[in-house]
Structure 1
């Protein structure tokens, strides 16, 4: 049932465009495995083998720490409406820091220069394998709307409060790995 591809083709690009959520998975040899849900509004396909997503401030920064230490990243999309399918994008990723010129360039060229509240970095994935599988076991759900909780939380914190929070919660992973978020760039 599983099929492998070297890159994202038009059919898979269309599938990604119809999803409302995806998941990222990362780890190092000695760390815990981290799996995080992401909203697809922050995702952009750069080309058939590269995707990025705007990463917003959260309670940890496991993905960035894992990418800095190991580099492996998997993204998974699963159809919760329409025909069943699971799509995984495997590859190597990296965090692009918010205060870098590369971040500004990607923001301008792929996000119309618009940054959601609480944006902290962009995660870039270079894809080396694309795999689909049946998705027969994925339940059906009806999409209602995006949650506004994160927007409200980041706006209440404000820029200064977010900086303090990031330094406290996003500098190291739960396993003590540095995220690189405050390294000089």
Structure 2
């Protein structure tokens, strides 16, 4: 049923890039704190950089748990499920980092994405993949993809640069467990 892969080959790359939604899981260090799982999606927001590296566009949102957890310990898992076609689940376990627009290497990562990002881009999450696996996905339901939502983009377009910076400082500054995210 399940299989381990040495690298993201062409077939896995195609599967990964076809999925309109994926899930990101992170957790703080130690036995306390909250595990976070976030859905991500939107056309062109996930890129495969090479056989062991992926990246996704991270937009300003209601929280910044992923960034806080990556700053804490770097652990991250991406999960992609086939909601159409043959059943399949792919998990990419690795070490991640949030690359902010002011950081070295941001422009190089941004070049991986074919489209200009929407307003409100907060960072690019880069993942060095350490374990690649798939599983059957037999219980994942079949669903029809109706399209991307544009609400986050429209929300960000109504904000000035200063308002977005203030939002990130006040609402994305720390995780729900108090870890630094977009501050400190």
Which residue does 2:10 correspond to in 1?
Answer: 10
1:2 and 1:32 map into 2 onto residues whose CA distance is 28
1:133 and 1:115 map into 2 onto residues whose CA distance is 32
* Residues 7, 128 of structure 1: 8 Å contact kept: no
* Residues 74, 88 of structure 1: 8 Å contact kept: yes
**TM-score, normalization: structure 2?**
0.94
2:141 and 2:71 map into 1 onto residues whose CA distance is 34
Which residue does 1:100 correspond to in 2?
Answer: 103
Correspondences of 1:155-170 after superposition (within 5 Å): 155-170=157-172
Secondary structure of the 2:160 match is helix
2:12 and 2:108 map into 1 onto residues whose CA distance is 26
- CA shift for structure 1 position 158: 2.5
1:6 and 1:171 map into 2 onto residues whose CA distance is 37
* Residues 91, 125 of structure 1: 8 Å contact kept: yes
Aligned length: 181
Secondary structure of the 1:164 match is helix
Structure 2, gaps ≥5 residues long? none
- CA shift for structure 1 position 182: 4.0
Structure with the higher helix share, 1 or 2:
1
- CA shift for structure 1 position 101: 3.0
- CA shift for structure 1 position 169: 0.9
Secondary structure of the 1:142 match is coil
Which residue does 2:80 correspond to in 1?
Answer: 77
- CA shift for structure 1 position 113: 7.7
Correspondences of 1:114-125 after superposition (within 5 Å): 114-125=116-127
Structure 1, gaps ≥5 residues long? none
Partner deviation per Cα, 1:109-149 (whole Å, 9 max, x = no partner): 21358232110011010001101000000001101110011
Correspondences of 1:39-54 after superposition (within 5 Å): 39=41, 41-54=44-57
Which residue does 1:87 correspond to in 2?
Answer: 90
2:114 and 2:149 map into 1 onto residues whose CA distance is 22
Partner deviation per Cα, 1:86-113 (whole Å, 9 max, x = no partner): 0000011111112123112222x21358
Secondary structure of the 2:71 match is helix
2:150 and 2:98 map into 1 onto residues whose CA distance is 25
Give the 3 Å change call, closer, same or farther, for CA 148–128 of structure 1 in structure 2. Answer: same
